[in-house]
Amino acid sequence: MKKTRKIIAVAISAIMAVSTLALPLSAQAVTDTADSTATATEKAASDFSWDNASVYFLLTDRFKNGNTSNDHSYNRGLNADGTVATDYTTDVAMFHGGDFAGITQTIKDGYFNDLGINALWISAPYEQSHGYAVGDTKGESDSKKSFPHYAYHGYYVLDYSETDANFGTPEEFQTMVDTAHEYGLRIVLDVVMNHSGYNNMYDMNEYGYGTLKSGWESVYYDWANITNPTYHAKINYNSTLASWANWWGSDWVRAGIVGYTPGGSDNLTTCLDYLPDFKTESETAVDIPALLKTKWTKEGVLKEKTDELNQWFEETGNPRTTRYYQVYWLSQWVRDYGVDGFRCDTAKHVELESWKALKTECVKALKEWKAENKDKALDDTEFWMVGENWDTTQTLNYNDYFTEGGFDSMINFAYGGGKGLPNVTNINATYQKYADFINTKEDCNFLTYISSHDDKLCRTDLIYQGSALMLMPGQIQVFYGDETNRPVQKVSVNGKNYTIGDHAFRSDMNWDAIDTTVEDHWQTVGTFRNNHIAVGAGSNTAVDTTNGTAFIRQYDKDGVQDTVAACLAADANTDVTIHLGSAFDEGSLVKNAYNGSVAKVTDGTVTFNSGANKTILIEAYDGTELTGIIGDVNMDNTINMLDVILIQQHLAKIISLTDYNFTLADTNKDNKITLVDYVLIQRYIAKLPNTPNVGDTIKLI
């Protein structure tokens, strides 16, 4: 749902729907009708910090198709005769068409700004294996369990130095990065140093490595009947050493191929899921892999690519090992395009020295890019690197990944698996634990998620989970569709429907079926987080509340001071009194950023209504002129029977209208509320004449 936007993400407070029941009115709360947008001053709490990052993780191929002309790059999804394979956009592991152009369009639409996102983590953009390997449905009873598995996810690298044409051109990638920066968004790339893509029949034929048996095409293009045994039966795995040397080469990777070192049994040398394992630990000097020499020769760029590599190795003095080839290729995405960070896949399967070398070169590269592109650089924030060390039993730990590997953050797996963050009874204890650990260290953070591409989707109570995640201390990751209730889907394989592990979590973005109730909520809480560094980087203090669970976050560092409070999971549409202590000055005005209402701090407390989504987000009132509509007693920007009922309750001494609510109920301005006011508002609603003042806007502050 679109909202007013500014290029650099600013707060946009959604006006909540009013209940159809007459409810007790907070005597202090009024609505800031002049401007419900919370603004921030320069170098204020809303300025970007990785310590308060809100990272949106998307798979480029599954997000949005902005350029259909690239959908069949490298003949992907095409039959042998060039016709389009049936259901190529819905079959589980085909390329579905998402690209850089689609991301750029979404940025320009203000979608990420509306959500309070300040960094985009996109799947690896570099060139992937052209052909497909074979996937299996694993455990499904149907006999046809296999399906074509392309590298749509970005984890099967072919050439680090080029964009994958299915995702777009280098120019389209640059446009995406530049547009993101214009809209205040950082770009984080998923990168893999651990492994390459599988050998596959299409690439073997295209680049002349290994040996294919006669008739391989009839098997490869038989989409509906492909199986692992029939596929691999057309590959001669006992062919000569020379033929397989034309692939990556045994000095580059481990693999279960003749002439190659097989994978080991430890994390650093295993061939994960049988993928070729790069020898990043090797100190042996290596040449450019034969596969890339063949590829670059066909493309007419071998000399250019070789000269660039030679120049870098000469300038840096780094050894020509597998590790440093990868460091060069990956750091060039930073140096050439201004990429802001990396998410490092399979971090525990690569030695820390390699990650440290990558981080060091990328920090240098981003500084160089910013110095040469001052008109594009957002600020002087350094390169950021977060690692994936898969461990669902993970505890907070300041370990070697931070001290030796150069990582700024590690992914937090504690709330994945579909379970989400703890319920309201335990959420404050969780917040306290993370704030106490993370926000007392300069060089340590954790990126928390509730859904991911290989760890199930959390789809239970997305209103509460949205609040719980967006208000989590440290850094948070939104997986595309968390905010729109993108469903887990059975997916088509050869015309049949299955639920297939990770692929089921990677369905196309549900643009045509967005759950706007969930989306609006995530936008509001996400914007609040983005406006306040205290949310992610501040101290946490649990406080008393008459309903739900409440806490205060406070930040005071580098000249920036920020204080906020919040209440989660209160009963719906209930007036909630929150004990703020001395966090906000006595008598000062504070604002509920969730609905724009304003209240006065009295005796260290404040009262707001929880609304339909049971959420209160408290920030200092920014002093914007406050107005109200005479007759709009409950300050919901409409005059209706709810206002009449409130006056009726006041006259019956069931409630007591005070302050601004009293002012707006006193239609004839005689400093008292009588039946005259009651009747005048009723006449206004009935569109009868002679209702002086009712409907007029007046200044309250």
For residue 604, the domain's CATH number is 2.60.40.1180
Residue 45 within any structural domain of the chain: no
One domain for residues 293 and 402: yes
One domain for residues 563 and 596: yes
One domain for residues 600 and 656: no
One domain for residues 655 and 610: no
Residue 18 within any structural domain of the chain: no
Residue 481 within any structural domain of the chain: yes
Which domain CATH number covers 193?
Answer: 3.20.20.80
Residue 282 within any structural domain of the chain: yes
- The secondary structure element, H or E, covering residue 606 is strand 605-609
Residue 1 within any structural domain of the chain: no
pLDDT of residue 700: 81
Q: Can 206 be counted among the known catalytic residues?
A: no
One domain for residues 601 and 670: no
One domain for residues 229 and 327: yes
Where a domain ends, among 506, 529, 552? 529
One domain for residues 450 and 561: no
Closest to 489 in 3D by CA, of 167, 62, 141, 77:
62
> Is-contact 357 324, C-beta < 8 A?
yes
Span 250-264, average pLDDT:
97
Residue 541 within any structural domain of the chain: yes
One domain for residues 589 and 620: yes
Domain residues for the domain of 559 are 30-40+532-624
Write out pLDDT tens, residues 192-230.
Answer: 999 999 999 999 999 999 999 999 999 999 988 899 999
Q: For residues 167 and 65, what is the distance between their CA atoms, to the nearest angstrom? A: 9
Residue 252 within any structural domain of the chain: yes
Q: For residues 261 and 240, what is the distance between their CA atoms, to the nearest angstrom? A: 15
pLDDT of residue 636: 77
Q: For residues 275 and 200, what is the distance between their CA atoms, to the nearest angstrom? A: 12
Tokens of 487: 């469903």
Where a domain ends, among 470, 495, 529? 529
- Of these residues, 345, 482, 508, 520, which one is catalytic? 345
Is residue 190 classed as helix, strand or coil in its secondary structure?
strand
Residue 9 within any structural domain of the chain: no
Residue environment code for 158-190, b if the CB has 16+ CB neighbours within 10 A, otherwise e: bbbbbbbbbbbbeebbbbbbbbbbebbbbbbbb
- The secondary structure element, H or E, covering residue 660 is helix 659-665
Tokens of 81: 């005769």
Residue with tokens 């750029």: 104
Total structural domains within the chain: 3
Residue 591 per-residue DSSP state: E
Residue with tokens 């009874």: 425
Query: Is it the case that residue 174 has pLDDT exceeding 70?
Result: yes
Where a domain ends, among 529, 546, 561? 529
One domain for residues 671 and 614: no
pLDDT band for position 455 (cuts 50, 70, 90): confident
Q: Tell me the H-state helices in 190-279.
A: 201-207, 216-220, 228-232, 241-245
- Tell me the one-letter amino acid at 301: V
pLDDT of residue 391: 76
One domain for residues 523 and 537: no
Q: Percent of the chain at pLDDT above 90?
A: 78
Residue environment code for 234-263, b if the CB has 16+ CB neighbours within 10 A, otherwise e: bbbeebeeebbbbbbbbbbbbbebbebbeb
pLDDT of residue 500: 67
Closest to 453 in 3D by CA, of 152, 188, 160:
152
Q: What is the mean pLDDT of the chain?
A: 90
Tokens of 457: 């989707």
Q: For residues 607 and 587, what is the distance between their CA atoms, to the nearest angstrom? A: 13
Write out pLDDT tens, residues 316-373.
Answer: 999 999 999 999 999 999 999 999 999 999 999 999 999 999 999 999 999 999 999 9
pLDDT band for position 46 (cuts 50, 70, 90): confident
Span 489-510, average pLDDT:
74
Report residue 434: phi and psi, to 5°: -70, -40
pLDDT of residue 10: 28
One domain for residues 659 and 610: no
Query: Is it the case that residue 181 has pLDDT exceeding 60?
Result: yes
- CA 65 → CA 94, 101, 105, 372, 523, distances in Å? 14, 7, 9, 32, 23
The full DSSP string for 22-76 is: --PPPSS-EE--S--PPP--TTSTTS--GGG-EEEEE-HHHH--S-GGGTTGGGT
Q: Tell me the H-state helices in 221-321.
A: 228-232, 241-245, 290-299, 302-316
pLDDT of residue 526: 99
Q: Can 345 be counted among the known catalytic residues?
A: yes
One domain for residues 107 and 120: yes
- Tell me the one-letter amino acid at 652: A
- Of these residues, 388, 408, 455, 562, which one is catalytic? 388
> Is-contact 77 95, C-beta < 8 A?
yes
